[in-house]
């Protein structure tokens, strides 16, 4: 299991989730509440799903993650990222590409996330 899960938008890291840190009880309870709400049904890719499986839940949460990132809802983005990292222990990255006609969300299980390092830009004289 990877310790870090990275969420990238158009190749740029937006969020990192560290699985070595213990999830506080209230956050774990929030994730359980998310599951309970999804038990009543969700809409995935425009289709109503009465009893969503884990893949459908993950796609639903990932779509909500994209919306949270795009609307700068940091709390919701953190919750959605936590859900994916907690419920999908083999998840390494969520790659989001919104440069085309549609948003593409790729959940990556076979490529480790590597922390991005800011490179200082030299001053031009």
pLDDT digits over 11-59, tens only? 999 999 999 999 899 999 999 999 999 999 999 988 999 999 999 999 9
pLDDT tens digits, one per residue of 61-108 = 999 999 999 999 999 999 999 999 999 999 999 999 999 899 999 999
Structurally, how many domains does the chain consist of? 1
Residue 84 lies in a domain: yes
Residue 90 lies in a domain: yes
Residue 89 lies in a domain: yes
Residue 122 lies in a domain: no
Residue 121 lies in a domain: no
Expressed as residue numbers, the domain containing 78 is 4-108
Distance CA(34)–CA(57), nearest Å, equals 10
Residue 21 lies in a domain: yes
Residue 39 lies in a domain: yes
Residue 18 lies in a domain: yes
Which pTM value belongs to this model?
Answer: 0.88
């Amino acid at each position: 299991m990877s310790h870090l899960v990275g969420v990238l938008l158009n190749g740029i890291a937006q969020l990192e989730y560290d699985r070595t840190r213990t999830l506080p009880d209230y956050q774990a309870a929030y994730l359980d509440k998310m599951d309970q709400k999804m038990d009543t049904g969700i809409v995935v890719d425009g289709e109503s799903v009465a009893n969503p499986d884990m893949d459908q839940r993950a796609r639903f949460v990932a779509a909500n993650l994209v919306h949270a990132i795009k609307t700068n809802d940091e709390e919701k983005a953190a919750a959605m990222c936590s859900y994916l990292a907690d419920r999908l222990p083999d998840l390494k990255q969520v790659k989001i590409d919104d440069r085309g006609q549609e948003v593409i969300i790729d959940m990556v299980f076979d490529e480790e996330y590597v922390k991005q390092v800011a490179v200082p830009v030299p001053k031009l004289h």
